[in-house]
Structure 1
Amino acid sequence: QIWTHCYLKGVIHLEHIESLIGEDEMFSIIRSLITSNSTFDLSSFTSQLVRFPVNTNVTLSDVYYHAFTTGGYPTLDVSISNHSIRVHQSGPSLWPLSLFFPNGSSHWLLTSSFSFTPHPNSSPLQYLINTDFKSFIRVNYDNTTWNHILYQLESDASLFSPVARAQLVSDMCFFSYSFVDRRLLDRVITLVNDQPHLFDLCDW
C-alpha cells in the first residue's frame, strides 16, 4: 500500500520518519508490528509514532498520518535576502513540515510561515531547503535566488548531488510560471541538454 500510494509519496514520507527517529528505532517498530499483529494498517503504524513528540500538541503520528492521507504535496515559497529569510506554505492546505538545511540544522514548520535572520555574508546556497529530497516538498525560491542556483549549476554542477540537481531542475520547471525573467527556463533547458550526464535523474 505504501509503495503504490500517490507516486511513491508514502515511501518518501516513511524514509523521512526514519531519518527523524533513526534506523534502529524504525526496525524496532516494524518488528513490533510483525510480531504483534496478524494484519496491520495505517493506524497500526501511526500508533507506534505517538511517543515521538514534535511539540506539545503534535507527534510524528500526526505528521505521518497527515502526509499519507492528504492529497498532493506541500509547496513552499522561499525568499532569501541579506537581512531576512522567509518561508511560506503556498499550497491549499497546511502541512506539518520538517525542513532541513545544508548546514545540518532543521526546523519544524507547523504554521503557514516563519522568518529568520541569516548569518552575515552567508551565501543563499546555505539556506536551500530539503536538497537531496529529504522529504516530499516542492520549493519555489525568489527569482534572485533561482538565478544564483542556476549560475552555480552552470559553473560547477558537481557542487550538488545527482538527486539535488534533479530536484532543483524539477522545481525550477514546476514553478517556471512565476519567473519574472523568462530566460531562466531557457537556461535550465540548455543546461540539461548540454550536460545530460549530470542530470540523468531529471524526470523529463
Structure 2
Amino acid sequence: MRAVDCQRAGASGISFRLRDGMAQLSLDSGLWQAIMMEIGYRAPGLYVQLSLENMSRSSPDQIRLLINTLRPSAVSLSLRDLASTAHADDLGYFYHACLEAGIAVQHVLADHDEIAKLAWMIDDGVIPEEELKLLLHVDSWQRDDVSHVAPFIARLKADLPDADWALSASGPGDSACLYAAMMLGGKVRLDSQDVIDQQAEVDGILANGGQLRELVQMLGLSSV
C-alpha cells in the first residue's frame, strides 16, 4: 500500500485522491471511507488528508456534500475552485462548519493574487483565521529554477504571517523549489507517483529517484 511506503520513507502524512473510471475525482463516499479505514489500519499514526483540489467536473456543492458525509480529519481545497462559483455566505458557513467539526482545511494557492484574496476573505469573516493552513503551488519549468519561491513565500508572510504553510511543485525544477521552501522554514508535499516508483531503501530512507531522492541528496541525508 502506497501509504505504508510513504510512512516508511519518512513522511509524516499523506494527501490522497481517488479517481473514477473516467479519471475524474470520485464522489463515491463509500469508497473514500473504505480507503481511509484501510490507511488507518495499515499506517497507524499517519496524518491523512483528502486531496480535493482541482475538482474538474465536480461542483463545489458535490465537494461540500462529500466532506459533510465523510467528516475527514483534513482536506486540501483550491481557493480558486470554491471561491469562483460559490456565494460568500455559503462559503463562510462551510468553512466555519469545518472548523467547528475539527476538519483541518488546507487552502491551495497558486499565485500572489490568491494570497491577497484569501487575506481579504479572512478579514471579511468568510474564512476562519484560526488554525490557518496553506499549500502554495509553483511550477518550475527549468531545472534549479527557484525564482518564484522566495517572492511567493515573502508575500505569504507579509499578508498571512501566522499561517501554517507548505509548498508543492511541478516541473523539472520541482525538487529545487521544495528544498528552497524547506530552507525558508516551510513544509513540503511530494508527489507520491514521483517518489515511489522503483523502491530502494538506502540508510533507512526510501530513496528511489524523483523528488524524494533529490531532496535526500540536497539535505545531505544520503550519498545516493
Higher share of residues assigned strand: 2
Query: Rg bigger for which structure?
Result: 1
If the TM-score is normalised by the length of the shorter chain, which range does it land in? Answer: 0.3 to 0.5
TM-score normalised by the chain length of structure 2: 0.31
